[in-house]
Amino acid sequence: METLQKQWLEAVCAHVHGFIFLFVGLFSFLLDLSLLSTPLWSLSVLCLAWLFPDWDKPRQGGCWKGAHVVSHGSWVPPRPFPPLSLYPKLVKTAELPPDRNYVFGSHPHGIMGIGTFCNFSTKSTSFSQQFPGPSVITLDGLFHLPVYRDYFMSTGLCSVKHQSLDFILSQPQLGKAIVIVVGGAQESLYALPGEHHLILKNHKGFTRLVLRHGASLVPVYSFGENDIYRHKVFATDSWQYLWQTIIKKLLGFAPCIFWGRSLFSANSWVLLPFPVPITTVVGHPVLVPQCLHPTNEEVDPYHTLYMKALEQLRSTRKL
């Protein structure tokens, strides 16, 4: 009975995360607009007014990080019981001294980035006890939506804007870390079970950022991330793929058709992930010197070193 209760609790948390990820942003935006034409219009005005004094917070290290809503025991259930895989297993391969700043490149994006979310935005794998406290970077546009932005900031998430990244890495106290899902929304379109398709070779902005601040690059790979959901992938010459890329350019995210399973059936189209373990491996840091205005020729060697370090994670977890 106790095990069943824990399974139900995990199922509820998985669905809550999926619901928030997919629907709450749009719902909060539409609700705020609809209230303007009701007697409760003042609530909508107050929500919108709050945006102005609080506008730059997501670009200044976020806010309310001390609260860290999702790290509280009331949000995260106990360690997973079969058949769920809500939490990843964290594998540490190297020490990261606190006398440097770090940029973690997290791969792959997957459908909803469960590995990145659980490791870096919750305390489910005790990441902050083993590594410098991270700030997870996400789309700047998410912080323009009332209520939705406040939820994200309460988890310690920050904007991906350059001023946000520079603000965190420019603090006088060392030991800062930011987590960037390098492949971004484009990578989610290739999140197929059993495949490891990364959008990385031409994504060099994070390497340039590291050079400007003299931080260290740390490769991170969540094995199993692409296996917890089934995903419909369209041909690149299809109208569906064209629609996905247009939405991605306009809104910053790519709409995907995916499904999971229910607690009782593997064939139900719901948000519960399939029972595949996620193993998140944190690799050895790539030391990078500081160069305030790096050229392409200076960026390329360190980007290549990073890709090689990421490739070496294969020996830690057999694909």
Give the percent of the chain with pLDDT over 90: 20
Looking at residue 71, its pLDDT comes to 47
Read off the pLDDT of residues 67-91 as tens digits, 9 standing for 90 and up: 444 444 334 444 443 334 456 788 8
Looking at residue 80, its pLDDT comes to 42
Predicted TM-score of the model (pTM): 0.82
Confidence check: pLDDT of 206 > 70 = yes
142-148 contacts, C-beta under 8 A, 24 or more apart: 142/25, 143/58, 144/51, 145/25, 145/28, 145/29, 146/28, 146/29, 146/32, 146/47, 146/48, 146/50, 146/51, 147/24, 147/28, 147/32, 147/47, 148/24, 148/25, 148/28, 148/29
Read off the pLDDT of residues 93-123 as tens digits, 9 standing for 90 and up: 888 888 889 999 999 998 888 888 888 877 7
Taking the C-alpha atoms of residue 39 and residue 145, their distance in angstroms, rounded to an integer, is: 22
Give residue 283's pLDDT band: very low, low, confident or very high (50, 70, 90). Answer: very high
Q: Mean pLDDT over residues 165-192, rounded?
A: 88
Mean pLDDT of the chain: 79
Q: Classify strands 102-107 and 177-181 as parallel, antiparallel or unpaired.
A: parallel
Looking at residue 316, its pLDDT comes to 67
Read off the pLDDT of residues 1-33 as tens digits, 9 standing for 90 and up: 555 566 666 667 777 777 777 777 777 777 777
Taking the C-alpha atoms of residue 313 and residue 219, their distance in angstroms, rounded to an integer, is: 8
Owner of token pair 């340039």 = 208
Confidence check: pLDDT of 301 > 90 = yes
Give residue 275's pLDDT band: very low, low, confident or very high (50, 70, 90). Answer: confident
The answer to whether the beta carbons of residues 142 and 151 sit under 8 Å apart is no
Looking at residue 73, its pLDDT comes to 39
Looking at residue 208, its pLDDT comes to 94
Looking at residue 104, its pLDDT comes to 93
Looking at residue 92, its pLDDT comes to 87
Give the percent of the chain with pLDDT over 70: 82
Looking at residue 297, its pLDDT comes to 92
Q: Mean pLDDT over residues 176-200, rounded?
A: 88
Looking at residue 270, its pLDDT comes to 67
Looking at residue 249, its pLDDT comes to 83
The one-letter code for the residue type at 239 is: W
Quick check: helix, strand or coil at residue 164?
Answer: helix
Q: Which residue has the higher pLDDT, 229 or 143?
A: 229
